[in-house]
Amino acid sequence: MNFGGQTPTIIVLKEGTDQSQGRGQIISNINACLAVQQTIKLTLGPYGGDLLLVDARGKQTITNDGATVMKLLDIVHPAAKILVDIARSQDAEVGDGTTSVVVLAGELLKECKGFVEEGVSSQVILKGYRTAARLAVNKIKEIAVRIDSRERRDVLQKLANTAMSSKLIKSNSGFFTKMVVDAVLSLDQADLNERNIGIKKVPGGGLQDSLYVDGVAFKKTFAYAGFEQQPKKFHNPTIVMLNVELELKSEKDNAEVRVEQVSEYQAIVNAEWEIIFRKLQLLADTGAKVILSKLPIGDLATQFFADRDIFCAGRVSADDMDRVVKAVGGSVQSTCSDIRPEHLGSCELFEERQVGGERFNFFSGCPKAKTCTLILRGGAEQFIAEVERSLHDAIMIVKKAIQNENIVAGGGAIEMELSKYLREHSKTIAGKQQLIIAAFARALEIIPRQLCDNAGFDATDILNKLRMKHAQGGTWMGVDIINEGIRDNLEAFVWEPAAVKINALQAATEAACLILSVDETIKNQESEAPQSGPQLPAGAAQRAVRGMGRGRGMPRR
């Protein structure tokens, strides 16, 4: 068949697929990210506001934590979702700076929007931004201050205090900084696994009623009749930790028995009782005074232990059990036979105490304690949840400072110094790269500018003063939030780990570059019915082979 030299239209994408490309697509993606930045930048800094987020089920969350806000915003725009990813990665890697990284990424896109509109290739912008980010990271490493190990605890408390300055608990930061530093220093310093810090929330009381437990504490588990007869306090007890179900019904699982006489049935029932009594007696013979199990401990076992002055708790969560093992030693046993002394744990004091409206089991004075527990109090559940998020940020900051002992001044000081450095460097470069690196330098100023805007200060006036001071060699001059001016934030103890700033710069730059490199979006609609035949691989570059005309003699459809 002769098509007259014309290529026929070949349909690759199914009907209803939305496809957009080119410069307009890049600008559309940038605008979507700027809308997200506009929402979250109001929460930055000590005077940033909190957001009240309500989900589809009516659940309310009050927070100014960047990662939490980004997760709860339920963003559907594919490009703007990249900002959610960098907020989560920042939270996972360093714990703090989640708002800063989103604000900075948005500002980098805002600064390059004009270049895109003027027709500058996105690849030119990517090259300039990556060069600027590399220079900025090297500059941070060059000027960062190393922590004096002799004043380590004092420095860690100052870092935790800075992390809490923008949180809901800043008025009680003195109380919580000591708690946070104690918690991190109680961990195994080799791996500093923050999951070994248990956080329990008990509504009621004030923030000052929160407790730090050098050991393990968990809420009283479900208890059967007979529990009230058990002792609730032991000095130097031995502890058995089990993954065994101590209930009669556990012996009936997957069993089928055929009997011909009633006496035979009674023998089976007696055998079941003998099996569980044998287990219970073996546990009592170990000499343990506290018995914990991940699986249920039934009423028969509860009464058996109560008669012998033994405390037991079943249905202990896996996290709590793991932390008990780390604190008291020993190991979790999956059988009641052959339990040796080395399998048992011990602590100086076990007791059950009332905390607010809840009963808690406390294990303190643990010889191998590589874990601790924070019991948080407060007037409302949303308030306590925000306190937990704030403490998580501070804990991660202290952990990162121990692993990487370099610090920089916060309050916009490091951003202004990097901005000055990149501006001066850009003047030594010819061509478009000079403009791109200068744009990166301008974008860094969004952090001190937004700190001023959120506090109600004259941002233009304060930034002019900061530019002048940094040009004169004032490396650590930043925003003075308290006195509405500028100050040396290193001397004012507004400190942050250098790793936080480095990670934020790298993540924000990569996110901006990723968004700028996308010049086509293909969105596949869900099909009405399942399609037969071979399908294109998911995520593959799907482009239609476009025929610009119909072949001669071909009928119009």
The helices-and-strands tally (H runs, E runs) of the chain is 16, 21
Respond yes or no: is residue 65 known to be catalytic.
Answer: yes
Closest C-alpha among 74, 108, 61, 66 to residue 90: 66
Q: Where are the beta strands (DSSP E) in 433-488?
A: 477-480, 485-488
Which residue in 98, 286, 302, 373 is the catalytic one?
98
Beta pairing partners, 349: 235, 364
**In this structure, what are the phi and psi dihedrals at residue 371, rounded to the nearest 5 degrees?**
-150, 165
Which residue in 43, 393, 453, 475 is the catalytic one?
393
| Percent helix / strand / coil, the chain, rounded to 5 | 50, 15, 35
> Which DSSP letter does residue 22 get?
S
Tell me how far apart the alpha carbons of residues 114 and 478 are, in angstroms, rounded to a whole number.
29
Closest C-alpha among 95, 108, 172 to residue 136: 108
Respond yes or no: is residue 521 known to be catalytic.
Answer: no
Residue 513, token pair as written in the block: 């570059």
**In this structure, what are the phi and psi dihedrals at residue 80, rounded to the nearest 5 degrees?**
-65, -20
Three-class SS of residue 354?
A: strand
Neighbours of 548 (CB within 10 A): 7
Residue 99 CB contacts under 8 Å (≥ 6 apart), including other chains:
40, 41, 43, 44, 48, 64, 65, 66, 69, 87
CB 3, CB 500: distance < 8 Å: no
How many Cα atoms occupy the beta-carbon half-sphere of 371 within 13 Å?
Answer: 25
Tell me how far apart the alpha carbons of residues 13 and 153 are, in angstroms, rounded to a whole number.
61
Closest C-alpha among 382, 376, 390 to residue 207: 376
Neighbours of 253 (CB within 10 A): 7
Which residue in 65, 96, 320, 453 is the catalytic one?
65
Is 541 exposed, middle or buried (CB count within 10 Å of its CB: 0-12, 13-18, 19+)? Answer: exposed
Alpha carbon 48 to chain centroid, angstroms: 20
Which residue in 63, 99, 131, 371 is the catalytic one?
99
Residues assigned a catalytic role: 65, 98-99, 393
